[in-house]
Amino acid sequence: MTTRPFPLIRGLCLSLLCLGVVLLVSGCGGRATVSGKVTYKNVPLKNGSIQFQASDGTIGDALIGSDGTYTARVSPGEAKVAITSYDEAKQAARQKKVKEMREAARGGGRPALNPKDFDMSSADLIPQKYGDFAKSGLTKTIKPGTNKDVDFNLE
């Protein structure tokens, strides 16, 4: 009677597959969870977004909730941070104006262009520098796993 090598190989492959799943679920080599609060002059931002640019170039981002909190998935390591927040009413008015201009252009008309219609700074609730990784001056070290209370108080 001879033994077959296939059950041994199949068992080895199954073991390696299980090990891979365990490593993936445990976060080895994956992204970390980062959560915190964003304030401007000690007042929580009511909307916006936060982005983390990891040293490997990947970007993790999240929306900022009405209480200033966020939760993002980010690659561990040093990360540059960019934060934006806009006045929703001004942003909606600008989007409406752009839509009207597109419709007028489709109809063959030439809409009057006003540079103020495209000026994003008029809707900013925080200084524009915070929306640029290179200018914000914001950095954080992200540890593997869960990072709580990664707060930003902008001035």
CATH number at residue 67: 2.60.40.10
Closest CA to 117 of 132, 129, 102: 102
Query: pTM for this structure?
Result: 0.67
Residues 12 and 74 in one domain: no
Residues 6 and 20 in one domain: yes
What is the residue whose two structure tokens read 């201009």? 101
| pLDDT of res. 3 | 55
Rg of the chain's alpha carbons, rounded to an integer?
24
DSSP track, the chain: ----SHHHHHHHHHHHHHHHHHHHHHTTTSPEEEEEEEEETTEE-SS-EEEEEETTS-EEEEEPPTTSEEEEEE-SEEEEEEEE-B-HHHHHHHHHHHHHHHHHHHTT--PPP-GGGG-GGGGBSS-GGGG-HHHH-EEEEEPSSEE----EEE-
Q: Show the tokens assigned to 113.
A: 């262009």
| pLDDT of res. 98 | 77
Mean pLDDT per 10-residue section of the chain, whose length is 155 residues: 54 52 50 97 96 96 97 97 90 78 74 59 86 97 97 96
Residues 37 and 26 in one domain: no
| pLDDT of res. 22 | 43
Residues 73 and 149 in one domain: yes
Residues 62 and 113 in one domain: yes
Structural domain span for residue 26: 1-30
Cβ distance 130 to 84 under 8 Å? yes
| pLDDT of res. 87 | 84
Count up the domains in the chain and report the number: 2
| pLDDT of res. 103 | 80
| pLDDT of res. 27 | 44
